């Protein structure tokens, strides 16, 4: 699987590329916020009911109760913007959250309904699968998938199916989707076990994994930064020094 393409990504609407404004003044004390604005913009129980995309989209997926809503709220530094599911498996809609980053770029985080809830009926599973397939294979703005797995459970067959689905040929043309694997609830393991558990997942899948916990704030920023880097959003570009001798380049 290769998901590391660093090509420049453009807004799906076909108009301006996502803006890369200047750095704000660095604050000497508090770390700058990851996002300056985040709001729920739409929800739908069928992929075709979603409004047309306005920005690149990053989808978050995982088994029910994996900690998806908590992770999204932590990344967005909001307490309850993304609703946590009181009853596992009860959220059966796709929700879009439009976000403005600290450097002023815009992107949309997409909360996909959780899977693997044992008490679901056959019809409910089929609905879920149609909804997820409709989104993952048809949405032209989908730029990254953050796949969440509980560190104590490891990768389950449903997680693998999801990765296979997103790796399969989409029904609409779009750039390749970046995959970020995240092991959640890291705090449930002791400090020494955490690293080993993440390394084990990396060995098993040959993919890089990010450890995450709502309780370990030091795990939040690296995931956010990696996500923006994979999307080529808010990346500082070194200013190339003009070549000596008047700008002639060899070619
Ligand atoms: P979702 O169903 O995947 O959206 O999962 P939620 O975000 O609703 O979380 C499910 C449960 O796990 C809730 O009781 C959360 O408080 C808890 N939880 C989520 N993330 C963490 C974490 O990093 N550490 C711990 N200890 N609990 C967590």
pLDDT in tens, 99-154: 999 999 999 999 999 998 777 788 888 888 899 999 999 999 999 999 999 999 99
Provide the H-helix boundaries in the chain: 68-76, 122-138, 157-167, 191-205, 220-231
pLDDT in tens, 177-195: 999 999 999 999 999 999 9
Task: Give every CB contact of residue 127 below 8 A, 6+ residues apart in sequence.
Answer: 45, 92
The share of the chain scoring above pLDDT 70, in percent, equals: 78
Distance 246 CA to ligand 1 centre (A): 59
66 Cα nearest atom in ligand 1: 3
Take residue 36 and report the two structure tokens written for it: 């300056």
Assess contact for 225 and 11: CB atoms under 8 A.
no
Distance 214 CA to ligand 1 centre (A): 8
Q: Output the CA–CA distances (angstroms, integers) from residue 48 to 10, 45, 111, 130, 136, in the order listed.
A: 22, 9, 16, 11, 12
User: Model confidence at 247, in pLDDT bands (50, 70, 90)?
Assistant: very low
14 pLDDT higher than 80: no
Region for residue 244 given its phi and psi (left: phi exceeds 0; alpha: psi -120 to 50; beta: otherwise): beta
Distance 67 CA to ligand 1 centre (A): 4
Q: Output the CA–CA distances (angstroms, integers) from residue 123 to 120, 130, 135, 251, in the order listed.
A: 8, 11, 18, 62
Q: What angle do CA 203, 209, 210 make, to 5 degrees?
A: 150
53 pairs with which residues across the strands?
Answer: none
186 Cα nearest atom in ligand 1: 23
pTM score, two decimals?
0.84
Closest by CA to 66, choosing from 148, 146, 147, 128, is 148
């Amino acid at each position: 699987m290769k998901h590391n393409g660093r090509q420049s990504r453009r807004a799906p609407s076909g108009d301006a590329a996502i803006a890369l404004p200047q750095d704000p003044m660095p604050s000497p004390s508090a770390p700058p916020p990851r996002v300056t604005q985040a709001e729920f913009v739409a929800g739908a129980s069928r992929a075709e009911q979603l409004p047309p995309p306005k920005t690149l989209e990053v989808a978050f997926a995982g088994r029910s109760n994996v900690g998806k809503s908590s992770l999204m709220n932590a990344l967005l530094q909001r307490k309850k913007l993304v609703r946590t599911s009181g009853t596992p498996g009860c959220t059966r809609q796709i929700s879009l959250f439009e976000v403005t980053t600290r450097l002023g770029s815009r992107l949309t985080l997409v909360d996909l309904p959780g899977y693997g809830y044992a008490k679901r009926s056959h019809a409910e599973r089929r609905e879920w699968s149609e909804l997820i397939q409709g989104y993952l294979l048809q949405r032209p703005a989908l730029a990254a998938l953050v796949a969440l797995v509980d560190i104590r459970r490891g990768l389950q067959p449903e997680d693998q199916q999801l990765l296979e689905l997103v790796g399969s040929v989409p029904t609409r043309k779009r750039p390749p989707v970046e995959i970020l694997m995240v092991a959640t609830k890291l705090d449930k393991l002791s400090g020494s076990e955490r690293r080993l558990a993440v390394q084990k997942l990396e060995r098993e899948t040959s993919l890089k994994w990010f450890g995450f916990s709502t309780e370990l704030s030091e795990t939040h920023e690296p995931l956010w930064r990696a996500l923006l880097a994979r999307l080529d959003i808010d990346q500082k570009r070194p200013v190339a020094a003009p070549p000596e001798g008047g700008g002639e380049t060899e070619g």
